[in-house]
Structure 1
């Protein structure tokens, strides 16, 4: 059975392990170097302070996580946030990502967030399907905005009003 809870800095190692293949083996993340445990701990602490960070656990092991973070630094954006979800490859297509978002989005609304935004590096049919199932709407695409893995990458932006 999968359980969901707020993350702690103690989850940083496992979250970094889950995230690493998205950085090193795909263009899903535009980071070029996977964060280590210390950096992931800083990110978790920051998200918990300002937005939220949840983990999914099965058999006492973290198998995925989702979080909200600052969208932009200008003051008028303070009620908008970026969201992301990452699931361990052994647990994909089991509803973990959707369940994480179902738990995260109401928490962000409780924190007075009005709009959740998700940038999806293309192509990524699975992520698009997840976000559409969660009632995110396509609001635009940045063309050739990032260079990764030997090619230019587009990013589609999806938004959901909370």
Structure 2
């Protein structure tokens, strides 16, 4: 059974290890993982109403993966949009952990006034592509050769998913 919950300080070493494993692949364009201190800062700045979340999936008492949502671009006009990602430990792939993480993440995001979630998927990555589409993402476009890693230029597929807040009225700006 997979349990999705908010991350705790005691999870961060495993989360850092999962991301370090992903950093060895084109799944992320970071060339190395982030230290535990970086993850502590992420945890300290979680803000559910703003869509800044760090969740973990626990299977048989151990952290099997994590999902993160946060700032898409650091400009105020983008504040109702979040970028999402999910990473699963290699020993737990194919067991529904990614689905559980995204289900938990989008339950929380849909309870906010946020309008849109976006995600970038390095091509090829069929598992991630399928995961995003199962959770309501649609293709927006592809940036061709946008990232260079491991001696190769990689394409990134960009996807979007409306959130429940997309139905909210847009606040009028004061002039």
Deviations 1:49-76 (A, max 9, x none): 6421111111221111101110011111
TM (normalized to structure 1)? 0.94
Partner of 1:32: 31
Tell me, yes or no, if the aligned pair for 1:83 and 1:117 is still in contact at 8 Å.
yes
Partner of 2:149: 148
Partner of 1:111: 112
Flag as ranges the 4+ runs of structure 1 deviating above 3 A: 47-50
Give 1 or 2 for the bigger CA radius of gyration.
2
Task: Please say if 1:11 is aligned against 2:29.
Answer: no
Ranges in structure 1 where 5+ consecutive residues have no aligned partner: none
Aligned length: 161
Ranges in structure 2 where 5+ consecutive residues have no aligned partner: 164-175
TM (normalized to structure 2)? 0.87
Shift of 1:48: 4.4
SS at match of 1:47: coil
Partner of 1:43: 42
Shift of 1:99: 1.1
Deviations 1:109-133 (A, max 9, x none): 2232210101001111111011111
Partner of 1:61: 62
Q: CA RMSD in A?
A: 1.3
> Partners in 1 of 2:87 and 2:42 — Cα distance?
14
SS at match of 1:57: strand
